[in-house]
């Protein structure tokens, strides 16, 4: 089964469809006007080849915000409960395919590996469902399994909180940070090793804002 038959549309691993490109540009403009959207490290996104894009997940808008930040068409692993009416068409449009957590997610892993083999960029939230600021940040091992089995680098992305009206008046902005691609050891094996590597990826993601500040400090 190829990614081309899983989703309708004209996007390819190297080219966005016109409709998706317009959607992404429109959302970027809206985010700039409403939230002062600023992207840091966007030039770090590999222009082609398989890629696992791993992001933190603290708000419902995160999938769209990562799509806005990434200059490549993404496919997303998403829990199957999201595919009910009236949101099914939208999640399919942004490239989501359902994950059955109760069933172990093996079918979703196979589908994700097909996409990566075809050269797609795959979006994933290693923490699973979105979490509040005080929620658990325990990472799932799926992000590492996909990287090891496909030979794909992992691109860490940190999405900041959407500022409210009062926060915007105080000068706060929506900031998205992109880190350097992480290459996982292809010889890595075992559940504990996968979880440890996934935790390290999440630590890297959450450290991106602070690392950006340090990089800007004069030496």
pLDDT tens, residue by residue, 22-52? 999 999 999 999 999 999 999 999 999 999 9
Q: Name the pairing type of β-strands 175-178 and 154-159.
A: antiparallel
Average the pLDDT over 96-121 and give the result.
Answer: 80
Q: Is residue 192 part of a domain?
A: yes
> Comparing C-alpha atoms, which of 130, 3, 136 is closest to residue 64?
130
Q: Is residue 219 part of a domain?
A: no
- The rounded percent of the chain whose pLDDT value lies above 70 is 85
Per-residue confidence (pLDDT) for residue 219, from 0 to 100: 53
pLDDT category, 130, cuts 50, 70, 90? Answer: low
Range of the domain at 100: 11-214
**Bond into 91 cis (ω within 30):** no
Distance between CA 180 and CA 198 in Å, rounded?
16
Backbone angles phi, psi at 131, to 5 degrees: -130, 150
Task: Give ∠ CA 33-159-70 in degrees, rounded to 5.
Answer: 75
DSSP one-letter string for 161-219: PPP-HHHHHTT---EEEE---BPPPTT--SHHHHHHHHHHHHHHHHHHHHHHHHHHS--
> Comparing C-alpha atoms, which of 159, 155, 149 is closest to residue 194?
149
125, 55 Cβ separation under 8 angstroms: yes
Q: Does position 18 have pLDDT exceeding 60, yes or no?
A: yes
Q: Is residue 55 part of a domain?
A: yes
Q: Is residue 150 part of a domain?
A: yes
Q: Does position 11 have pLDDT exceeding 90, yes or no?
A: no
Q: Is residue 5 part of a domain?
A: no
Per-residue confidence (pLDDT) for residue 211, from 0 to 100: 87
Q: Is residue 162 part of a domain?
A: yes
55, 158 Cβ separation under 8 angstroms: yes
7, 88 Cβ separation under 8 angstroms: no
Per-residue confidence (pLDDT) for residue 80, from 0 to 100: 72
- The rounded percent of the chain whose pLDDT value lies above 90 is 58
Q: Is residue 6 part of a domain?
A: no
Helix (H) or strand (E) holding 52: strand 51-55
Q: Does position 8 have pLDDT exceeding 50, yes or no?
A: no
> Comparing C-alpha atoms, which of 132, 116, 123, 144 is closest to residue 202?
144
Distance between CA 58 and CA 212 in Å, rounded?
20
- Which domain CATH number covers 134? 3.40.1130.10
DSSP one-letter string for 48-88: SS-EEEEE---STTHHHHHHHH-SS-EEEEEEGGGGSTTTH
Average the pLDDT over 107-118 and give the result.
Answer: 89
Q: Is residue 39 part of a domain?
A: yes
Q: Does position 14 have pLDDT exceeding 80, yes or no?
A: no
Total structural domains in the chain?
1
CA-atom Rg of the chain in angstroms: 17
143, 205 Cβ separation under 8 angstroms: no
Average the pLDDT over 168-187 and give the result.
Answer: 96
């Amino acid at each position: 089964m190829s990614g081309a038959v899983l989703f309708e549309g004209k996007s390819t691993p190297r080219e966005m469809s016109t409709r998706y490109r317009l959607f992404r540009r429109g959302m970027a403009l809206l985010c700039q006007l409403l939230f002062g959207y600023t992207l840091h490290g966007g030039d770090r996104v590999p222009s082609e080849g398989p890629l696992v894009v791993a992001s933190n997940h603290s708000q419902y808008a995160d999938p769209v915000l990562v799509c806005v930040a990434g200059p490549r068409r993404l496919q997303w692993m998403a829990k199957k409960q999201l595919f009910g009416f009236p949101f099914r068409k939208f999640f399919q449009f942004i490239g989501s395919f359902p994950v059955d957590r109760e069933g172990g997610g093996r079918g979703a892993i196979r589908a994700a590996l097909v996409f990566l083999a075809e050269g797609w960029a795959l979006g994933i939230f290693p923490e699973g469902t979105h979490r509040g600021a005080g929620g658990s940040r325990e990472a799932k091992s799926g992000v590492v399994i996909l990287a090891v089995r496909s030979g794909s680098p992992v691109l860490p992305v940190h999405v900041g909180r959407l500022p409210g009206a009062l926060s915007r008046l105080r000068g706060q902005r929506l900031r998205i940070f992109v880190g350097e691609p992480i290459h996982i050891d292809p010889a890595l094996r075992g559940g504990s090793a996968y979880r440890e590597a996934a935790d390290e990826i999440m630590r890297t993601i959450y450290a991106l804002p602070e690392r950006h500040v340090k990089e800007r400090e004069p030496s």
